């Protein structure tokens, strides 16, 4: 299958894959060659794909996934390759983001500030999961 993973500012992965496991909003989706057409919303998490017998991992967050024939396209708000993540810096960042989130106190889950900060916390946690 052709796999294209892009963000607004770069092509993260472009190439062939034999199997792709995608963190969708409603849970993981395992895409194999010949998968039925699908359009969905990406969640935040670690995406896995197999290419030439080797498993690769990266963090993806937000956006859309389209499966059409033997082509999988992910249009992500954010994506990070494993070698781009610096664990110590990410742990510090996550700690600071969690403190900011806690300082918001009791807010509605629809509050714009809360939602943006929560998305940042989720992305940071997913990047740390990626490097474990």
SS3 state of residue 84: helix
Widest pairwise Cα distance in the chain:
49
Nearest to 123 by CA among 70, 81, 80: 80
Q: Please give the CATH topology (third level) of the domain spanning 2-82.
A: ATP Synthase; domain 1 (2.60.15)
pLDDT score of 102:
85
Q: What is the pLDDT along the chain (132 residues), one digit of tens a residue?
A: 999 999 999 999 999 999 999 999 999 999 999 999 999 999 999 999 999 999 999 999 999 999 998 999 999 999 999 999 999 999 999 999 999 888 877 676 678 888 888 899 999 999 999 888
How are beta strands 71-81 and 2-7 bridged, if at all?
A: parallel
- pLDDT at residue 63 in the model: 97
pLDDT score of 75: 98
pLDDT the model gives residue 108: 64
Question: Hey, where are the domains in the chain?
Answer: 2-82, 85-131
Cα angle for residues 88, 57, 42 (degrees, 5° grid)? 100
Q: What is the pLDDT of residue 111?
A: 80
């Amino acid at each position: 299958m052709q796999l294209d993973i892009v963000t607004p500012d770069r092509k993260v992965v472009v190439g062939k894959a034999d199997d792709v496991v995608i963190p969708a909003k409603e849970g993981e989706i395992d895409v194999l060659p010949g998968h039925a057409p699908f359009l969905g919303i990406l969640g935040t998490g670690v995406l896995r794909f197999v290419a030439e017998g080797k498993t690769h991992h990266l963090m993806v967050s937000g956006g859309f996934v389209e499966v059409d024939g033997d082509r999988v396209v992910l249009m992500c708000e954010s994506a990070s390759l494993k070698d781009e993540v610096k664990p110590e810096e990410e742990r510090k960042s996550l700690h600071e983001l969690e403190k900011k989130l806690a300082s918001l106190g009791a807010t509605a889950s629809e509050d714009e500030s809360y939602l943006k900060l929560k998305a940042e916390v989720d992305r940071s946690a997913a990047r740390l999961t990626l490097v474990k």
